[in-house]
Structure 1
Amino acid sequence: MFFLKYILRNLFRHKLRSVLTIVGVAVAVLAFGLLRTLVGLWYAGAEHASDTRLVTRNSISLVFPLPISYLDRIRGVPGVTSVSYGNWFGAYYKDQKNFFANYAIEPRGYLELYPELMLSPKEKNDFFLDRKGCIVGERLAKTYGWKVGDLITLKGTIFPGQWEFVLRGIYHGKEKATEERILLFHWSYLNEALRQTVPRRADQVGYFVVGVKKPELAPEVSMAIDSLFKNSLAETLTETEKAFHMSFVSMTEAIMVAIQIVSYMVIAIIMVVAANTMAMTARERISEYATLKTLGFKGGHLGGLIFGESVLISLSGGVVGVAATFPAAHWIEVELAQFFPYFSVSTETILLELLAALSVGVVSGIFPTWRGATIRIADGLKRIG
């Protein structure tokens, strides 16, 4: 108890210095936690992918389409429970800055394969019956103030022209990680328009979504599907939904690695700053440490006082940083909803933040602790007067 009281008294002998050090550690811990959360969210789509869904695309690239005639052959593969298909549409709303994911899909099979997209029975039925109908996620609807029954006009890029849709339903995600910033509409609506304007692009899809009975069958079914179209004009590549998502994530993996490096560099920099602060404090108190030794304090006692002060300062900053993480994450989730489906800080990230703060305290306290514990009484007393 005596040592703790002594450490607390020393902690704010230089109030401004201690407060600035705590704030510095807090900012570093906050930045570390937010950057790690950002990296985690980048991989969230792959982590939450279903084990019983496969994606079949052109083996060359997703840019190249597949014939719709592949549908029945894929459906006949043993182990396949259902098949749907879709096209990336790539349109925007009113202005190019209003860009979001939009797909032309086969409605019934697609929604069966994605039960996490929650719609009321009426909305689902209205969507099925209206060929110009569309559904959107709840976040997307809130962003643009859309309501069921509204007429939505998108301007096409891959498929040029003005495309009109009637909003028939607003889905919400079954889980927090479910993407709610997507617009889905009938592939048949797109295909009919292509038959009239660009016949050579009609009757083609960008990908097939394949449901399998159980995850263990995924490799076998994937090989069976790809073997069906081997040596054809449009060979296929079938992979799990997780692998499909990871193929997109890998395109920006260098950026994610850079962000991770930056998060650790932030901690390294604050370690240097805190170490300098503690070293300065130790130099100023050399005569005090020598006096304490004359009173019977051992080197271990002094080392514990110095080291405890360093750890306590860093942990105080860590606690402040952790406390600030939650409102910061909430602000990002609200203000930047168009970029992130959610921005939730995990328990693992909180623990890593506290570990980072503890590491700062331990590392920055090593040299001052050694200096204070090994100071000779005569050398310390020379500084008095």
Structure 2
Amino acid sequence: MYTLRLIFKNTMRHKLRTSLTILGLVVAIFSFGLLQTVVDAWYAGAEGASNTTLVTRNKTSLVFPLPLSYQARIRAVPGVSGVGFANWFQGTYKDPKNFFAQFAISGETYLNIYPDYLLPPDDRAAFLRDRKGCIVGRKLADQYGFKVGDIIPLKGTIYPGNWELVVRGIYDGKQSTTNTATLFFHWDYVNETVKRTVPRRANQIGVYVVQIDQPENAAAISAAVDNEFANSLAETLTETEKAFQLGFVSMSEAIVVAIRVVSFVVIIIIAAVMANTMAMSARERLSEYATLKALGFGPGFLTLMIFGESLLLSAFGAAIGIVILFPFAAFLGKVMGTMFPVFEVSQLTVIQQVLAALAIGAVAAIAPTVRAVRINIVDGLRSIG
């Protein structure tokens, strides 16, 4: 207890220096955590992907569709327990700036594959009955004020025209990492209109989502699905949902790498600042360290004093930085809206922040400790801080 009190008093001996050092640590640990949270948000779709879901798309490119007739053939592949499909819609809601994900889906077969979308039974039934019905995620509903019964007008881009959808339900996520910033409506509604206006584009879909019984059979089932359509006019590429999502992330991999690098550069810079602070403190106390050695205190005690002070500073800075990160991340998630459907501080990020703070404190204390332990008593007593 006495040692802890002595470490605390040493830490608070120069209040201004201590305050500025802690402030720097707060900024560094907070910035590190925020940047890691941004990276996590980038990968949220892939991390939340189910290991029992495959995605089948056109082998040439995602922009090329697949025939509707493939659904029955995929369902007949051994190991497949369910097949749904989805089309990216990309409609404009009132203003081009109002961007959010919109998918025309196969209805019940699609929803059955994603049990993480929690929808009241009555709302689900109402959605399935209404050809023009849609369901929206909670985050999307909160951002735009959508309510059950509202009519959402969309101006089509991929599918030209004015489309009116009726909100039949608002779904929540089973977990906090579930994407609740998407609008789903019936593919049949789109297809019926396309049959009248552009018949050659009818009965075509974007991707199939395939539910399998055993995740360990994913590779074999993927190969079986692709072999089913080999040498056809629309060959397929089937992969796990996680691999499919990572394909989108890889398009901006350079940005993600840059963010990661910046987050670690911040830690390196504050470690250098912290090391300089501890070096200044140790230089001022060389005569005190020499006195302690003369009184019989060994290298272990001096090491404990210096490392204790450095780690205490790091702990204060890390604690404040971590605490303020949570409300700021929540605020930022609301401000960014659907840009990042999932934006929350993960447990791993907090652990990384704590480890970074410990590393800063330990590294900053090494040089001062070595100098204090090696100081000659006579030379130390002559030292003037």
TM-score norm. by structure 1 comes to 0.94
Structure 2 counterpart of 1:88, one-letter code: W
Structure 2 counterpart of 1:210, one-letter code: V
Corresponding residue for residue 81 of structure 1: 81
Structure 1 position 301, deviation (Å): 3.1
Are residues 68 and 5 of structure 1, via their aligned partners in 2, closer, same or farther at CA, if it must alter by over 3 Å? same
Contact 2:44 2:342 in 1 (8 A): no
Distance 1:384 1:263 in 2: 39
Instruction: Spell out, residue by residue over 1:16-50, the C-alpha distance to the aligned partner (whole angstroms, 9 max, x if none).
Output: 10011112112211222222222223222222222
Corresponding residue for residue 106 of structure 2: 106
Q: List alignment gaps of at least 5 residues for structure 2.
A: none
Corresponding residue for residue 152 of structure 1: 152
Distance 2:296 2:111 in 1: 77
Corresponding residue for residue 228 of structure 2: 228
Structure 1 counterpart of 2:52, one-letter code: T
Q: Secondary structure at the match of 1:97?
A: coil
Corresponding residue for residue 30 of structure 1: 30
Structure 2 counterpart of 1:225, one-letter code: V
Structure 2 counterpart of 1:154, one-letter code: L
Moved over 6 A (4+): none
Contact 2:79 2:213 in 1 (8 A): yes
Structure 1 position 333, deviation (Å): 3.2
Contact 2:127 2:135 in 1 (8 A): yes
Distance 2:323 2:179 in 1: 27
Corresponding residue for residue 318 of structure 2: 318
Distance 1:213 1:59 in 2: 24
Are residues 196 and 301 of structure 1, via their aligned partners in 2, closer, same or farther at CA, if it must alter by over 3 Å? same
Which segment is superposed worse, 292-301 or 114-123? 292-301
Corresponding residue for residue 8 of structure 1: 8
Are residues 276 and 84 of structure 1, via their aligned partners in 2, closer, same or farther at CA, if it must alter by over 3 Å? same
Corresponding residue for residue 353 of structure 2: 353
Corresponding residue for residue 96 of structure 1: 96
Structure 2 counterpart of 1:163, one-letter code: W
Distance 1:88 1:156 in 2: 11
Are residues 372 and 216 of structure 1, via their aligned partners in 2, closer, same or farther at CA, if it must alter by over 3 Å? closer
Q: List alignment gaps of at least 5 residues for structure 1.
A: none
Contact 2:99 2:338 in 1 (8 A): no
Structure 2 counterpart of 1:156, one-letter code: G
Corresponding residue for residue 301 of structure 2: 301
Structure 1 position 299, deviation (Å): 4.1
Structure 1 position 297, deviation (Å): 3.6
Percent identical pairs in the alignment equals 57
Structure 2 counterpart of 1:240, one-letter code: T
Corresponding residue for residue 270 of structure 2: 270
Corresponding residue for residue 333 of structure 1: 333
Distance 2:214 2:289 in 1: 69
List aligned pairs for 1:52-201, cutoff 5 A: 52-201=52-201
TM-score norm. by structure 2 comes to 0.94
Structure 1 position 102, deviation (Å): 0.2
Distance 1:194 1:242 in 2: 31
Instruction: Spell out, residue by residue over 1:208-235, the C-alpha distance to the aligned partner (whole angstroms, 9 max, x if none).
Output: 1122222233222211211111111110
Structure 1 position 378, deviation (Å): 3.3
Distance 2:217 2:383 in 1: 78
Contact 2:75 2:82 in 1 (8 A): yes
Which segment is superposed worse, 248-257 or 232-241? 248-257
Corresponding residue for residue 365 of structure 2: 365
Instruction: Spell out, residue by residue over 1:86-140, the C-alpha distance to the aligned partner (whole angstroms, 9 max, x if none).
Output: 2101112111110000011111211122222222222222222222221111111
Are residues 97 and 372 of structure 1, via their aligned partners in 2, closer, same or farther at CA, if it must alter by over 3 Å? same
